[in-house]
Chains A and B, each alone.
Chain A
């Protein structure tokens, strides 16, 4: 037999003995008690079966029934000692057997259920053991991690806490809230609603919750609690209890917060770039997160970290050296404090002090290391801001220096580029103000006769003030500078007894330098500021440099200015103010001075009425510039006038002038002189090396340069036999005389210049003035010429033959008369027939308008004037009535539409005296939109 078999045998032995033994015992008791033949013993056998069934189950119960049947039938049911009972006995035995069997069956069911309950119980016990073990472990763990368990009986509102939960809620160990309400009172007021909501939700759903809460800070520094809870339902399915655990997570929370804080602090500090902004940002971050009071001392020397969990009153003094901060921190009443060094890159920046007061926070080592970490980052930020600021400052300083240098260069440039003193000072004085950040700058010049300084120019001063300034040399500030010849820096002008009223009122400060030419003081340059002590020695040195430049420029310019003024005066006196008005001839002239007016050239033009029908015209150019050239030019011009008025022919005039030029000195000139007979339009001319005049014919032939009559320039050789030539002008022809400045320009060849002149002169221009403007514009292209330019043009007026002027009575029959007259005139003037017809039509329409619209005319007539200007026909129709806007259009507006379509230009001028309509039509350009 193996062990299993033995166990199995054992398992059946006991119930079997019971099943046999129990009835046997019942029999023994019955016999012993003398109950033989009594059916009441049945109950005892019932008990035996019951016991057997209970012990061994149904099978053994039934065995017990069978075993019980034998003694029961034999000894206790009549007839005794026989197994064949009588009727009553059979019933009793049957009842026993049935009853016992039923009982066994019922009991067996009962037993089976009890047995499974036992198994469950055992299982439970085993699990409970394991649980207890793990719970023990848990508790130990909980104890170690400050985790506690708790239970809340909802119905009785009773709380049960593990001992360690008291201290993390600011209670003694083992102390605990009696009810949920009391517990809620221990939770931070701000977190309470959250907790209540979580509990309610958990009860509602029968689940649980997990939450992080702070404890009521009244007990001191609030702690963070992590709580987890499960709702336990009773057999009724309703929540009976809530069980859970809580853990103090303050440290973790603090570390998390600290990490987060440091990250955001680093970010915040990296944004603030300027030094002050960074320090302020550090303080902003520290309070109230780290402290209620915070101070950075960036001066303090070596100091190690200090932690003062409890700060004694006498220790407050070490927190700060700043008296104001000291007052502030004392007022707060610090409770706990830390001092940490600020270090960056191994460099000590100072210290940071943290103190808690209101929050009653007690700093610990954890706080200290956090404060150190914070200080490390703050220090880095401060250091980088400091570096940035230093860099900014250095850059700004460099830029300022650079700027000054640039301005100084500008000052120097001004001296070189300016051509007049006004130009120089106009540029220099504002630049000086700019350079020295001053409010005013002025140049005073020495008046030798009066021995005083007068203000030549100023920037930042009224003209009225400027005009009044007179400073005796040797007195006042400028006077002292002038007499001593030394630069002067005045920090406070009011104490220096200035002479000028404006300086007396001004106060502020000033720097001034003498302007010297060949060792003599010729003036004073000074700049002044409204601020006192605005200038440094450095500025004075700079102004001295500027002053030297100015003095040099002043010297050159005054020399130049004197000459220039003389030359300009000469030149102006030479050019005719007005061209003579001569019948049959139009005259126009242009003079364009050379670029920037550096020096006056020797160009001139002149026109002289030599007789009733004789006109002399001249254009000349004296080689050289400046006063000498201007003077020579004047001589030549005057001499020419004399010779011309003597009636000498052009060649003779040139010969005489050549002799004059020869004796006048080493100067030579080119010149073209022409005499025009205004009646015959014969033009005789002679050229002394001068560019050929251009003759522009009004019609027919191309323009031509008159190359004849040319000889050498004046002053080149003595006794030149000057040649002369002649040309006959036609009415409308234009003769253009010019100096070489017009056609000789830098970058353009002479041929190109002459071509441009020829082309631009041919472009249809209505008047001589317009023609000259056009030519000058085309040749100079809007630029100042490098050399002077003189142009003179003469036009033979086409009046006698080229114009039509006729007045007609204001009646319809005049129209036909006008048309035939105009048609004839147009044909005479070479207007193509087709174009002529259109002009006649337009003119007729305009005249019809004049008849129709002119009301209450002062003269019952209208005038028609026609002229041909080059390629253009211009017709003017004039009436003498009041123009009346046509109310109805009897001709459907055809009249005006025809005029507009037929003509190139229509202009209506209406006045009190009447209306003039001007029609223009080119006789060459085909009209746009002409017949198909």
Chain B
């Protein structure tokens, strides 16, 4: 080949290598089905196909930091981490060849192997193994040391084998044996055992079952998990391999989590819990396994998986309970620190539904400066029923954020009941409507005379009639609950129609609704009058209330 032709071919090969590097980079950085790497791989396949059609094959020598074609360097890259030559060289590859017939799928598979080469080390994998498993049809490769990576197949191994064969052949040398005469000396006739070839034929059912069995072979992880459980039930504790065993158990949990196989994970942990119950392993093993394995990212993935459907939701609930029973702090940290609102919401829901979070774990969160952390902690405090939290919750009724104050009022109502009346009474005068509403509802359950006064005070406010209907109704209901018949005049007066300062219809509707709950003649008179109102909505509501009250 003339020098000019060599130069031209080398340039073409350089262009192929450059495109291969681009494909490698794109496959690393873009998601699997992204059009960018697809396009690059397509271009690479076209370029290679053209070259291979003309030249038949392309053989690239792999050196430590460069690829060579013949004697020409056709690829080099400054950064060794991303150097294709280095990536192949470190795993023992010394040459790669591409042959005609190579298509886009095969070249993509090849470059994809290179793109994920860094991940292989963690699993004691290497490119040779991955290439071997890929079983390329149009890509060949040469390895420096096919068997031993630095070692050699010793000649003595072959020599010993040869000697063994010679010895064995000598031992069984029957060349001089007269079968009849020497039978007793060297040969024993084996009686016919009745082995018949037809007995080896598989029935159609056996065939079908076996093929199904091969196709549906259980995952290595499921089989491995079962063996670990058997060992857990039987092994002598305190052996040297305890650490390895624990690591393997953790790896199983991690693998289930990584594969988002919640069914497998729950089954595995349930079995560990069964062994806990039968005292085959220490109590809390399952919870510790899960807690020690799951990272905050993994936990977040797990919680998101709860949205996949009812079955997964139940499983995630079980797993969250299990983590919570072992170490609540990881869950609470995520609840506090996650920036994903929906995630916090889901986790909060799991925590509220499941086993209660111990109150002491919530104390730091109740003091957290972030409003949503404090509010979430208050919600959990409410279901914890832990009276230890009352002082912290009371403090939060004065929090600067009304959302926290409202939650604090609700929680205080649930935790402290009548004990918290002074605080709840103060909250009736809160600047925020939602807080006042919550306090009013609390008064309905817990209230006393102090509450009645505070409620009436609120109703005397000039702006009362213009407050949200929900608040007005809550206040009316609370007042009726506390003052009974005495509440009727106050409510009637507030809901009366005026010319100069028209009372909103919402107030009259709230009054109808509230007085409908009071079985008294005064209330009934109010309802009778309202049932004749010119306002249709009030009239209808009053009629319904009368029906509910009965004759």
The answer to whether A binds B is no
